[in-house]
Chains A and B, each alone.
Chain A
Amino acid sequence: MIYPDSKIVLEVRGLCATVNGTEILKGLDLTVRRGEVHAIMGPNGSGKSTFSKILAGHSAYEVTGGSVMFEGQNLFDLAPEERARAGVFLAFQYPIEIPGVINSQFLRLTYNTVQTHRGKEELDPLEFDDYVREKMKLLEMSPDFLERSVNEGFSGGEKKRNEILQMAMLDPRLAILDETDSGLDIDALRIVANGVNQLANKDNAIVLVTHYQRLLNYIVPDYVHVMEAGRIIKTGGKELALELESRGYDWVGVEHKAVARAVA
Chain B
Amino acid sequence: MSATGTINAGYLETLLAGQPQLPTSPLAWLNALRAEAVDRVGVLTVPTLRDEEWRFTDISLLTKMPFHPVRTTISLQAADIEHFYIEEAATRLVFVDGVYAPQLSSGIAGSGVTVVNLEAGFAAHAATIEPYLGRLTEFRDNVFAALNTAFLHDAALIVVPRDISVTVPVHLLFIATQKDVVSYPRCLLLAESGSAVTVIEDYVSLQEDAYFTNAVAEIALLDNARVNHIRVQREGAKAFHIANCAVSLARASNYQSVSVAFGARISRYNLNVQLAEEAECAVDGLALISGRQLADTHTCIDHAKPHAVSHQMHKCIVGGGAHAVFNGKIMVRQGAQRTDSRQSSRNLLLTNKAHVDTKPQLEIFADDVKCTHGATIGQLDSEEVFYLQSRGLSDTAARNMLTYAFGAEIIERIPISSLKCQLEQTVLEQTATQL
Contact = CB atoms under 8 A, between A and B. Distances in A.
Q: Do A and B bind each other?
A: yes
A80 B397 CA distance: 13
Interface in A71-98: 79-81, 83-85, 89-90, 92, 95-96, 98
Interface in B349-401: 381-384, 386-395, 397-398, 401
B397 A109 contact: yes
Interface residues of A, number: 28
A84 B389 contact: yes
A57 interface: yes
Interface stretch (A26-34, A110-118, A135-143, A251-259): A110-118
Nearest to A111: B392
Given A58-B386, A98-B387, A101-B401, A113 B392 contact: yes
Contacts of B15: none
Contacts of A57: 386, 389-390
Contact of A114 (B382, B392, B395, B404): B392
Contacts of B406: 100
A110 B392 contact: yes
Given A58-B386, A59-B386, A81 B393 contact: yes
A170 interface: yes
B397 A113 contact: yes
B387 A96 contact: yes
A96 B383 contact: yes
Contact of B391 (A59, A100, A110, A149): A110
B405 interface: yes
A99 B387 contact: no
A200 interface: no
A213 B384 CA distance: 31
A84 B391 contact: yes
Please indicate which of the listed interface residues B391, B397, B402 has the most CB atoms of chain A within 10 Å of its own CB.
B391
B404 to A, nearest CB: 8
A109 B391 CA distance: 9
A58 B401 CA distance: 19
Please indicate which of the listed interface residues A80, A96, A113 has the most CB atoms of chain B within 10 Å of its own CB.
A80
Interface in A167-186: 170
A208 interface: no
A210 interface: no
A239 B373 CA distance: 56
Given A98-B384, A113-B397, A85 B389 contact: no
A85 B387 CA distance: 14
A74 B402 CA distance: 30
B409 interface: yes
Contacts of B405: 98-101, 149
**How many residues of B sit at the interface, in one of the four size bands?**
20 to 34
B401 A56 contact: no
B126 interface: no
A89 B387 CA distance: 11
Nearest to A117: B392
Given A100-B408, A100-B409, A109 B401 contact: yes
Contacts of A149: 405
Contacts of A131: none
A83 B306 CA distance: 58
A106 B389 CA distance: 12
A166 interface: yes
A237 to B, nearest CB: 31
A58 B383 CA distance: 9
A96 B384 contact: yes
A113 B402 contact: no
A74 to B, nearest CB: 18
Contacts of B392: 81, 84-85, 110, 113-114, 117, 170
Please indicate which of the listed interface residues A79, A99, A166 has the most CB atoms of chain B within 10 Å of its own CB.
A99
Contacts of B408: 100
Please indicate which of the listed interface residues A95, A110, A113 has the most CB atoms of chain B within 10 Å of its own CB.
A110
Contacts of B402: 98, 100-101
A80 B401 contact: no
Contacts of A83: 390
A98 B408 CA distance: 12
A98 B401 CA distance: 10
A96 B405 CA distance: 15
A51 B383 CA distance: 17
Given A113-B392, A114-B392, A99 B386 contact: no
Given A99-B409, A100-B406, A100-B408, A84 B401 contact: no
A109 B384 contact: no
Interface in A45-66: 56-59
Given A98-B405, A113-B397, A92 B387 contact: yes
B387 A113 contact: no
A109 B392 CA distance: 9
Contact of B389 (A80, A95, A100, A170): A80
Nearest to B396: A81
Contacts of A170: 391-392
A218 to B, nearest CB: 25
Interface of B: 381-384, 386-395, 397-398, 401-402, 404-406, 408-409
25 contacts: A56-B390, A58-B386, A79-B389, A80-B390, A81-B389, A81-B392, A81-B395, A81-B398, A84-B390, A84-B391, A84-B392, A92-B390, A96-B383, A96-B384, A98-B384, A98-B387, A100-B409, A106-B391, A109-B393, A109-B397, A109-B401, A110-B388, A113-B393, A113-B397, A170-B391
Given A56-B386, A100-B404, 16 more contacts: A56-B390, A59-B382, A79-B395, A80-B389, A81-B389, A81-B390, A85-B392, A96-B387, A98-B384, A98-B405, A99-B409, A106-B391, A106-B401, A110-B388, A166-B391, A170-B391
